Structure 1
Amino acid sequence: MSARHVLVTAGASGIGHAIAGLFLQRGDRVTVCDVDDAALQRASEALPGLAAIRADVADPAAVERLVAQSGPVDILVNNAGVAGPIGGVEDNDPDDWARCFAVNVHGAFHMIRAVVPAMRAAGGGCIVNISTASTVTGLPGRSAYVASKWALEGLTRNVARELGPANIRVNAIRPGFMDTERMRGLIARAAEASGRSVETVEAEALGFISMRTKIQPAEIGEMAFFLASDAARHITGQIIGVDGNAEWEG
């Protein structure tokens, strides 16, 4: 089987980097985009053979240039996302709210819109969107983020139905409590705000997960790889949790 072309948004670090590395290691051709030039440089050095391109998925013109430069895509992983404003909804800045949706929802739309014509011409393709377990549990103080991910899941289900006749499959993954630098930063800020230790806040968070576990970025990569494989050729329109069963969040 010839190498597939995989495009991972926000693929220079964190979950995106893990996904890109796994596909590359298993023989696929991988392109990542990101807005962090330094991260793109580090990713290129860490993963020989990786194509790294600067692009903001919230900008439709930048997305068009990205796809034109990278070439036809067999597998798209919409991983780009921002946290959005944190705090009570009445205190959210409208511009911060809008930016959250611009990246988390509109960015996925721009990417899907740009890659689908070539997928149709090729007779099929696979799209994997990265959501969050917080759409199940809710997360006070993070309304923009959770609402945007709900919208992403709605986009996933509807586009799966629309593109199914073209043999283009669309699914989403809900990561749980990730063992990443970003999550460690969120826990540290929560600890500082509440006057508690990082260990106490982390233990409390794990208490709302059935398996009492954090998730490694590579686990999200493995699920994305499965969804893009022939073993998942009839799986579409699904929202799949890789989260140890997130029950609730405090």
Structure 2
Amino acid sequence: MTYDFKGKTAIVTGGGSGIGAAIVKKLAADGAKVIVADISMEHAEEIASEVGENAKAVKVDTGDAASVEAMVKAAEEFGGGLHLLVNNAGIGGANAPVGEYPVDSWKKVIDVNLHGVFYGMRYAIPAMQKAGGGSIVNIASILGSVGIAGSSAYVATKHALLGLTKSSALEYGDKGIRINAVGPGFIKTPLLDANLDQDTMDYLANQHAMKRLGTPEEVANLTCFLLSDDASFITGSYHLVDGGYTAQ
């Protein structure tokens, strides 16, 4: 499915790899100019180079408000305005029970996964209002609706992200800005490949009704639909792409 993003400028945080990179490529293929925003300039530049002239790499630390503000300004300069935002950047944090969870890891996960999304919306929404409206998709997780042992910080941020999405959608629903969240299941990305052995990957695959991991492209397809005018009456909602994980 293709969408008409011609004349639109988008930002994708965490755009240098995995789900973010797939979203960047889909948006650009459908006509958007895209800011590939990532903490790793090397990864951002690699994806921007693959896409070509419709993409620009920007280094961003989503846990730092000034860095996010500069990212939004770069998007306005690159595309003449800002119309689309995908808050995708996130980290997993330590794996430990709450009573032993490292405080520094807790703070870092909150900074990136929650504060970073707030900063993105805080600076993108005024830019979208200047451009005449827009659409935002916050990449949450299946762990925005269920828990998992050992990942309290990550789960807390993804639950909070849904509340932020719903509240902000109510604030801007009559102002031309739609805001939704996507909840991926376990997705086969380079990060997963690098950190999990095959037995663990197989175990996770079997937790989904479809008995496989998802792909970044499957998440990108749903995300771009929600960003598009085809989803013009959808706001404040949470859409799963989880192979049936949460149906159990």
Q: Same-fold call, TM > 0.5?
A: yes
Q: Who is 2:60 aligned against?
A: 55
Rounded Cα–Cα distance in structure 2 between residues aligned with 1:103 and 1:131: 12
What are the Cα deviations for residues 84-108 of structure 1, in whole angstroms up to 9, with x where unaligned?
A: 1211112211111011011111111
Percent identity between the two aligned chains: 36
Which stretch shows the higher mean deviation, 36-45 or 149-158?
36-45
Q: Who is 1:13 aligned against?
A: 17
Rounded Cα–Cα distance in structure 1 between residues aligned with 2:169 and 2:176: 9
Check 1:127–1:76 CA distance in 2 against 1; reply closer, same or farther (3 A cut): same
- Structure 2: tracts of 5 or more residues without a match: none
**Number of residues paired by the alignment?**
239
Is the CA contact 1:137–1:248 (under 8 Å) kept in the aligned structure 2? no
**1:66 paired residue among 62, 71, 79:** 71
Is the CA contact 2:23–2:217 (under 8 Å) kept in the aligned structure 1? yes
Q: Who is 1:195 aligned against?
A: none
Q: Who is 2:136 aligned against?
A: 127
- Structure 1: tracts of 5 or more residues without a match: 189-197
Rounded Cα–Cα distance in structure 2 between residues aligned with 1:4 and 1:48: 16
Is the CA contact 2:62–2:117 (under 8 Å) kept in the aligned structure 1? yes
Q: Who is 1:194 aligned against?
A: none
**2:123 paired residue among 105, 110, 114:** 114
Rounded Cα–Cα distance in structure 1 between residues aligned with 2:84 and 2:103: 34
Shift, 1:151, TM fit: 0.8
Amino acid at match of 2:241: V
Rounded Cα–Cα distance in structure 2 between residues aligned with 1:12 and 1:144: 23
Rounded Cα–Cα distance in structure 2 between residues aligned with 1:219 and 1:8: 16
Is the CA contact 2:36–2:48 (under 8 Å) kept in the aligned structure 1? no
Instruction: Please tell me whether residue 94 in structure 1 is matched to residue 119 in structure 2.
Output: no
Q: Who is 1:33 aligned against?
A: 37
Instruction: Please tell me whether residue 146 in structure 1 is matched to residue 155 in structure 2.
Output: yes
Amino acid at match of 1:46: E
Shift, 1:248, TM fit: 7.9
Q: Who is 2:175 aligned against?
A: 166
Check 1:203–1:55 CA distance in 2 against 1; reply closer, same or farther (3 A cut): closer
Is the CA contact 2:13–2:88 (under 8 Å) kept in the aligned structure 1? yes
Check 1:68–1:247 CA distance in 2 against 1; reply closer, same or farther (3 A cut): closer
Is the CA contact 2:142–2:240 (under 8 Å) kept in the aligned structure 1? yes
Is the CA contact 1:161–1:237 (under 8 Å) kept in the aligned structure 2? yes
What are the Cα deviations for residues 124-183 of structure 1, in whole angstroms up to 9, with x where unaligned?
A: 210000011123331100110011111111101111111112121000000111011212
Shift, 1:18, TM fit: 0.5
Shift, 1:224, TM fit: 1.1
What are the Cα deviations for residues 171-199 of structure 1, in whole angstroms up to 9, with x where unaligned?
A: 000011101121223432xxxxxxxxx23
**1:42 paired residue among 46, 51, 55:** 46
Is the CA contact 1:138–1:248 (under 8 Å) kept in the aligned structure 2? no
Amino acid at match of 2:99: E
Rounded Cα–Cα distance in structure 1 between residues aligned with 2:234 and 2:37: 26
After superposition, the CA RMSD in angstroms is 1.6
- Aligned pairs for 1:166-205 (under 5 A) are 166-188=175-197, 198-199=198-199, 201-205=200-204
Shift, 1:119, TM fit: 1.6
Is the CA contact 1:137–1:246 (under 8 Å) kept in the aligned structure 2? no
Partner secondary structure for residue 236 of structure 1? coil
